[in-house]
Amino acid sequence: MSTPSDFARPHVPDLHAYTPGTQPTDGSWIKLNTNECPYPPSPHVAAAIAREVGAEGSSLRLYPSPTSAPLRTQIAKLHGLTPAQVIVGNGSDDILNLLVRVFGGPTAPAGFTLPSYSLYPVLVAIQDGATAVIEFDRSMRLPVDRIAASGAKAFFLTSPNAPTGVGFSNAEISRVLNAFDGILVVDEAYAPFAEEDAIPLLAAHRNLVIVRTLSKAHALAGMRVGYALADPETIGLLDRVRDSYNVNRLSQVAAAAALADTPYYDAIIGKIKRTRDNWATEWAERDWFVYRSSANFLFVEPRNAAGEAGADVAAALFAWFKSRKILVRAFPSHALTASFLRISVGTDDEMLAVEEAIQAWLTNAP
């Protein structure tokens, strides 16, 4: 007898879904594994949602703006663009999926670096697409020539990079845009924490797409809102494959309220950056290698009490953290990342708890 898998497209039964960071339901954990904002969103967000719902919730019976048109207009104004250069998605992952739908496939390789966001190969595999993978070395220098020669129709570049936090300058990105005959997707999930972003490059490069999220700096991971900025022709292509009503009405008003409260978020971002830089210095002075981060996390190569580093040391500290109900992220599957742990920047109290756990590990761990 046939099974459901027998009727599926041949590549689907062998797909491996994206594995997100652990999401504990017990509130006693210190959760520093998914780069969420450690502080709440602007108070204007909850107020905007309450107004939209109303006393009886009657607005919820109505569909939202199918294109998120008011939000597109607001985002365009924020970045000095036109609404035709903006598309809004159900999180930036939705935008990335649309990009792969348009520019990826069996005969249209999609490129990305390794390491980078591990969702990229999953989205390409769903489309049964070909890939062009460019590996970083430990220096994390941007391999401009190799990207240009990759043969990809679209290349996904995370800047600042995940999981290392290394940011790439506009001068470097311009070199890629000038040399690469394809669509360059600069995934700027962490751009609010960086020294510069690629938005000024849009005017001169029709092959540039910038992807943003409100999950990190704007503390709206639970609302799922992201957007892309690009040439109007590119936005038109993405709209052709976009799901109808892809962003719900509460997420749209929450995003609008957040983007309007610049002073609140400037203060939060500044605090996170100060905390990040403080602990980067602290751990580097312990002779732990820490990449210079332009994001809201630190990629750290720990050393044990004997001064040893490596994959086993990182795994031991990861397990020690977990035993003390602290979640961080490990990346054991690649030689460049296996000896590191990624630690999201938390509140001051959370970061002190991390340090106390490290001190206990150095003193007591076998």
How confident is the model over 176-200, as pLDDT tens digits?
999 999 999 999 999 999 999 999 9
If one counts every other C-beta atom within 10 angstroms of the C-beta of residue 203, the result is 10
Q: SS3 string of 290-336?
A: ECCCCCCEEEEECCCCCCCCCHHHHHHHHHHHHHCCEECEECCCCCC
Neighbours of 321 (CB within 10 A): 23
pLDDT, mean over the chain:
95
The reported pLDDT for the residue numbered 366 is: 65
Q: 221-262: per-residue pLDDT in tens? A: 999 999 999 999 999 999 999 999 999 999 999 999 999 999
Looking at residues 62-76, what average pLDDT do you find?
97
As a whole number of angstroms, the distance between CA 207 and CA 231 comes to 8
Q: Which residue has the tokens 């969702």?
A: 119
Contacts of 168 (CB under 8 A, 6+ apart): 142, 157, 159, 160, 161
Question: Angle at CA 217, nearest 5°, toward 41 and 172?
Answer: 165
With cut-offs at 50, 70 and 90, classify the pLDDT of residue 25.
confident
Write out the CATH class of domain 43-261.
alpha beta
pTM recorded for the entire structure: 0.95
Hey, is 342 helix, strand or coil?
A: strand
Is the fold of 4-31+263-364 the same as that of 43-261?
no
Class of the domain covering 4-31+263-364: alpha beta
Q: Write out the two tokens for 73.
A: 């207009």
β pairing state of 326-327 and 30-31:
parallel
The tokens 């795994």 sit on which residue? 315
Domain ranges in the chain are 4-31+263-364, 43-261
